Amino acid sequence: MAGRYAPSPTGNLHVGNLRTAILAWLFARSTGRDFLLRIEDLDRVRAGSEAQQIRELTDIGLDWDGTPARQSERLALYEHAIDSLTARGLTFECFCTRRDIAEAASAPHALPGHYPGTCRDLSDEEREERRRSRPSALRLRSRVNQWAISDLIHGEYEGAVDDFVIRRNDGAPAYNLAVVVDDHAQGVDQVVRGDDLLSSTPRQAYLGSLLGYPAPEYAHVPLALNADGQRLAKRDGAVTLEDLASIAVEPHEVRALILDSLGLPNHSLSAALAAFDPGALPREPWVVSNLGS
Ligand SMILES: [Zn+2]
């Protein structure tokens, strides 16, 4: 049994990311689970960012089990899952551009947010012809429109499932596929992450069910927002450990601010762990402004 934190190495972690990492650690450790770190580096990465993020997580006092896994080193695993779906007739090639999809999706009977099904039933000849002009993405041949999940914070949540992409047309496995395959392969049965990902979770859970994986426990935690109610970002001033250190706010003080925002004892992670109660967590976003003052 394990929980995990899975950052993308695209830059420094900000206090909202660190708060989610602390929550994932608290959920895992308070339930006797291992805590794993996974680097989600299938997309564009920034040089040096992985090592930087690992330092930042260490600096606020987090620890994890084993060495961090990197998605870029696990491609065979994703291909294996994709092949098994294809062998069962559960995938199809899609040649649509973004524009094709936007146009088809605006048709009167289209389901909002769903792939319009353009390439679902192409004949072999049609596919052959389209392959000559454009590389294909691979989509899941979904048999449902909705899927329900259970979330420790949001309760029962039902969301859209469509024929989503599982392999991009550049050959890379899609995020929704890689996450599901990794969590299962790594023994992760508790998924704690930002609630901006809640709406993609029914897709992932459905995919996991097709692959025969037991459903993990989910907790989608509130994000950090800036004073204008937007998702916290680098432009919001001193929001990374590096920025904050430059105005004399040390990592243990940042951790204390984060633990304060969670209503937990703020002097150490072990004290916070002893007091941790998922049911008592704030349900509202954390509004961050002027951390250094
Ligand atoms: Zn298509």
For residues 10 and 48, the answer to whether their CB atoms sit within 8 Å is: no
The residues that are catalytic are 234
Burial class (CB in 10 A: 0-12, 13-18, 19+), 98: exposed
Closest listed residue to residue 133, CA positions, set 100, 110, 111: 100
Locate 249 and state its tokens.
């706010």
What integer pLDDT is reported at residue 181 of this predicted model?
98
The rounded Å distance from CA 94 to ligand 1 centre is 4
pTM: 0.94
The rounded Å distance from CA 124 to ligand 1 centre is 14
Distance of CA 28 to the CA centre of its chain: 16
Neighbours of 79 (CB within 10 A): 14
Locate 94 and state its tokens.
């899609």
Q: Strand pairing of 286-287 and 34-39?
A: unpaired
What integer pLDDT is reported at residue 266 of this predicted model?
96
The rounded Å distance from CA 12 to ligand 1 centre is 36
What integer pLDDT is reported at residue 110 of this predicted model?
75
What integer pLDDT is reported at residue 166 of this predicted model?
98
The rounded Å distance from CA 170 to ligand 1 centre is 15
The rounded Å distance from CA 82 to ligand 1 centre is 18
Q: How far apart are CA 170 and CA 89, in angstroms?
A: 22
Mean pLDDT, each 10-residue run in order, the chain (293 residues) = 97 96 98 98 93 98 97 97 98 94 80 86 96 96 96 96 96 97 98 96 98 97 93 89 94 96 97 96 90 69
